[in-house]
Amino acid sequence: MRYFIGNWKMFGVPNSINILKKINSFYSKDKNRNKYRVIVTPPYTLIQAYSAYFKGKKITIGAQNCYQKDGFSSDTAAVSPYMIKSVGAEYTLVGHSDNRSEGETDFMLRNKVSLALKNNLTVVYCIGESKSEKKNKRTFSVLKRQLKKVLDKKIKKNKIIVAYEPVWSIGSGKIPTSDDLKKTTLYIKKILRGIFKGKSPAVLYGGSVNGENSALFKKIKEIDGFLIGGASKSSKKFIDIIKNYYR
């Protein structure tokens, strides 16, 4: 199974659902539709309406983050995994570099992952090295740390997806070489097999994926799909990624 996950970030108002309606109509008729899943993570403000609309349809809705406490609390502006699940989300991203850069710690991320799983959300756990870490040849040690400090074998493996997003690639138009990406994906899967004592969860790539480069990635069979930011805000661009991947 492949995954095409669209991360809208700070984008969207109720009417923006028209973008997803177009993607859903392509997806419903696509001859390759049984080979992949489409998940979109709009901002919190749209999760309830979009989940209700797409219930029983092809697209699945998720959240972009969740708070590290569950249920209700006195933390202003926080949204718990329980609250996200209650409005119909089935997935949540955790550890996106935008949020890590605002101070998310490993301890917070561990709580987010375990509470999201407790609420039966599938977690898309984001990892990735920064530009300077790459330059200093620390990519593998950074990824290993991000995986081992947050995931462990008690976690429901079938409810975890890992998204490898090099920070220097997000929104920059730059992508890793095929060779680097293959090596890194294999390395991530090796670490995950060690953590889970068995088969690795799905590992996605994210960072400047678009309709022009998605075909390049299909040669790397180890990549189980994509986390797509900028290009997920346009139905045409998002559909082109899927079309060109399967061409």
Taking the least distance from each CB to ligand PEP, the nearer of 201 and 207 is 207
* 165 assigned to active site: yes
Q: How far is the CB of 56 from ligand PEP (least distance, A)?
A: 27
List, as own/partner pairs, every contact residues 170-173 make where C-beta atoms lie below 8 angstroms and the sequence separation is at least 24, other chains included: 170/97, 170/128, 170/206, 170/207, 170/208, 170/229, 171/208, 171/229, 171/230, 172/207, 172/208, 173/208
* 104 assigned to active site: no
Q: Which residues pair with 197 in a beta bridge?
A: none
Residues that bind ligand PEP (CB under 6 A): 7, 165, 170-171, 206-209, 227-231
**Which pairing describes strands 36-41 and 122-127: parallel, antiparallel, or unpaired?**
unpaired
Extract the tokens encoding 27. 């997806």
What is the three-class DSSP state of 136?
coil
Taking the least distance from each CB to ligand PEP, the nearer of 81 and 229 is 229
Taking the least distance from each CB to ligand PEP, the nearer of 166 and 196 is 166
Q: How far is the CB of 173 from ligand PEP (least distance, A)?
A: 8
Contact 31, 40 (CB under 8 A): no
Q: How far is the CB of 206 from ligand PEP (least distance, A)?
A: 4
Taking the least distance from each CB to ligand PEP, the nearer of 121 and 163 is 163
Q: How far apart are CA 142 and CA 134, in angstroms?
A: 9
Q: What is the CA radius of gyration of the chain?
A: 17
Q: How far is the CB of 50 from ligand PEP (least distance, A)?
A: 18
Q: Which H or E element spans position 239?
A: helix 235-246
Of all residues in the shown chain, the one whose CB is closest to ligand PEP is 229
Which of the following is catalytic: 96, 104, 129, 133? 96
Taking the least distance from each CB to ligand PEP, the nearer of 8 and 82 is 8
Q: What Å distances lie between residue 110 and 22, 104, 119, 217, CA to CA?
A: 36, 10, 14, 30
Q: Within a 10 A sphere around the Cβ of 134, how many other Cβ atoms?
A: 18
Which of the following is catalytic: 129, 133, 165, 212? 165
H helix intervals, 105-150:
106-118, 131-135, 139-148
Catalytic residues, by residue number, are: 96, 165
